């Protein structure tokens, strides 16, 4: 792995603040979500933490974090509905960082994005299917600048990377390369308006015409 990738990955890990993933257990957050690898999870937010139980019993959460507690798949209601492999402490607390494995929730329609919404401390976060991903449709899970969080971008860049079966994860060649790209475009910002080109995108990218730029508007190029 190139040295520059290691340095950029470490920079992002040191600068990006840790985030808490909690929910309000008053209701909602029940159903099934699917990650971008095709794995399905039952979701249950009744305990105050939205726990995702894989329907495939051979799939296990591996956060690559040690301590007194256990690993679990947890739903994070960010701009992109995301599934994380997190370490849950013995007292039930969780925190995530750029080193945590995560995948976006995939969809073919709004019904795949927990129609009842996801309870959070700010209210119920609701999601719709946009470009095959469950994306936020309310201000509860929208950032003030309209951009996805840097955590969202990191998750998008893991969409095609298998869940880890061994540690360390953050320095594995595929993720180290992606995290370096995110560090290069997002820097130390909490939100980021750019998703690296080889990562999953929030919106569909129009194909280029004849290998070049799309035609300009006008009589010949169309509206």
Comparison of pLDDT for 103 and 9, the residue scoring more: 103
**What mean pLDDT value characterizes the chain?**
82
Question: How much is the pLDDT for 205?
Answer: 74
- For 162-181, how does the pLDDT look when each residue is reduced to its tens digit (9 = 90+)? 999 988 888 888 988 998 89
Comparison of pLDDT for 13 and 145, the residue scoring more: 145
pLDDT over 80 (residue 17):
no
| Least confident segment among 29-43, 119-133, 151-165, 199-213 | 199-213
pLDDT over 90 (residue 126):
yes
Question: What average pLDDT does the segment 61-80 reach?
Answer: 88
| Least confident segment among 72-81, 137-146, 197-206, 209-218 | 209-218
Is residue 143 within 8 Å of 64, Cβ to Cβ?
A: no
The residue extents of the domains of the chain are: 3-186
pLDDT over 70 (residue 193):
yes
Comparison of pLDDT for 50 and 220, the residue scoring more: 50
Percent of the chain past pLDDT 70, that is, above it, reads 78
Question: What average pLDDT does the segment 105-125 reach?
Answer: 93
Question: How much is the pLDDT for 54?
Answer: 97
């Amino acid at each position: 792995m190139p040295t520059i990738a290691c340095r950029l990955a470490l920079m992002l890990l040191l600068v990006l603040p840790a985030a808490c993933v909690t929910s309000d257990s008053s209701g909602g957050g029940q159903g099934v979500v699917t990650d971008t690898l095709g794995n399905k999870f039952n979701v249950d937010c009744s305990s105050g933490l939205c726990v995702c139980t894989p329907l495939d019993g051979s799939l296990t959460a591996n956060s690559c974090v040690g301590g007194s507690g256990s690993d679990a798949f947890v739903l994070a209601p960010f701009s992109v509905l995301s599934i994380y492999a997190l370490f849950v402490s013995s007292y039930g607390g969780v925190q995530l960082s750029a080193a945590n494995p995560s995948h976006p929730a995939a969809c073919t329609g709004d019904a795949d994005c927990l129609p009842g919404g996801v309870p959070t401390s700010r209210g119920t976060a609701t999601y719709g299917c946009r470009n095959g991903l469950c994306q936020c449709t309310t201000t509860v899970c929208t950032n003030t600048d309209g951009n996805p969080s840097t955590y969202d971008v990191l998750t998008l860049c893991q969409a095609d990377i298998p869940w880890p079966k061994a540690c360390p994860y953050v320095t594995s060649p595929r993720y180290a390369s992606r995290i370096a790209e995110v560090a290069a475009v997002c820097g130390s910002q909490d939100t980021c308006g750019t998703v690296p080109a080889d990562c999953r995108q929030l919106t569909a990218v129009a194909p280029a015409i004849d290998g070049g730029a799309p035609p300009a508007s006008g009589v010949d190029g169309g509206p």
